[in-house]
Amino acid sequence: MSNELVKQEKTIVDSVQNRIAEMQNKGSIELPNNYSVSNALKSAYLVLQETQTRDKKPVLQACTQESIANSLLDMATQGLNPSKEQCYFIAYGNKLTMSRSYLGTIALTKRINGVKDVKGYAVYKDDKFELGFDILTGKQKILEFCPGLNRDPKNLVGAFALILGDNEILHTEYMDINQIHKAWEQGSMKGNSGAHKNFPDQMAIKTVINRACKFYVSTSDDSDKIAEFMNKSVEDTDRELEEDKKEFANKEVVEIEEIPENIDEETGEIIEAEIEETNNNQAPF
């Protein structure tokens, strides 16, 4: 790394750490007990050194320092770490943004009091599966699930997610295959990426987990800040870019990239990396 980039890293990292410290002192942010801002920022900068724009330019050179700092701040305030694949950094023109992955969504959800874990499962045609409803609690519940041996992707009929508490299932979310396909169609890849085609069960699990977490966080009593994080998505960035275009409409031409096609808007993840892995016949997670 050049001396200039080393200086840039120190300046940006120091500013983000100072801002996080201020927020903690004011009580406006509460990070996980085992979360190290310093370690997360170091991991992020290692990732950023290898991250490029769509035009193959290093983001540390192509993106503004302000957007880099804001992306790192967004990552840190959410308690995420790119080394755990909880988030990705994506360039839109000269603006760097932080996109949370489904693993990051799980990490956020587990920060809510009482949540122990989040699990997801694919359901196939020959599985013994029965979905029920508890009229007293108004919640869905799984009455029976016994996976069969036939895991042919063509026989995938749905997926469900469970948000687990210490002694009970806090929330159950089920999506049939039609709902899953409609969710995929909302993304720029329309469910046609290598990962979606080769590993539809794993992508279906990601999709239903995201829906389960977003619903549970939005309805939880003590999760206002986490709900705010959860509702931030690629669409928010798209709206910001449209505002930028309007701002510069009567000024000099400023090139602002659209949302890259390799971003899964449903899960916030980079599809390109998954395609490379599917080429090696490996599941993307």
Q: Is the pLDDT of residue 267 over 80?
A: no
Question: What pLDDT score does 62 carry?
Answer: 93
Nearest to 45 by CA among 68, 74, 64, 23: 68
Strands, E, within the chain: which ranges? 87-92, 95-100, 117-124, 128-134, 139-146, 156-164, 169-176, 263-264, 269-270
**What pTM was estimated for this model as a whole?**
0.78
pLDDT digits (tens, 9 = 90+) for 83-130: 999 999 999 989 999 999 999 999 999 989 899 999 999 999 999 999
Question: What pLDDT score does 219 carry?
Answer: 85
Contacts of 8 (CB under 8 A, 6+ apart): 60, 65
Q: Is the pLDDT of residue 275 over 60?
A: no
Q: Where are the domains of the chain?
A: 3-106+226-278, 107-224
Can you name the residues that pair with 71 across neighbouring β-strands? none
Q: Is the pLDDT of residue 31 over 90?
A: no
pLDDT digits (tens, 9 = 90+) for 125-150: 999 999 999 999 899 999 999 999 98
Instruction: Report which of residues 167 and 164 the model is more confident about.
Output: 164
Residue count of the chain: 285
- Tell me how far apart the alpha carbons of residues 68 and 9 are, in angstroms, rounded to a whole number: 10
Contacts of 20 (CB under 8 A, 6+ apart): 29, 31, 37, 73, 76, 77
pLDDT digits (tens, 9 = 90+) for 249-262: 443 333 434 445 55
Question: What pLDDT score does 263 carry?
Answer: 59
Transcribe 110-152 into DSSP letters: TTSTT--EEEEEEEETTSEEEEEEETTTTEEEEEEEE--S---
Tokens of residue 169, six digits = 């299932």
Q: What is the mean pLDDT of residues 155-177?
A: 97
User: Among 78-82, 173-177, 239-243, which is the least confidently predicted range?
Assistant: 239-243
Percent of the chain residues past pLDDT 90, beyond the cut: 58
Question: What pLDDT score does 13 carry?
Answer: 85
User: Among 188-192, 207-211, 215-219, 269-273, which is the least confidently predicted range?
Assistant: 269-273
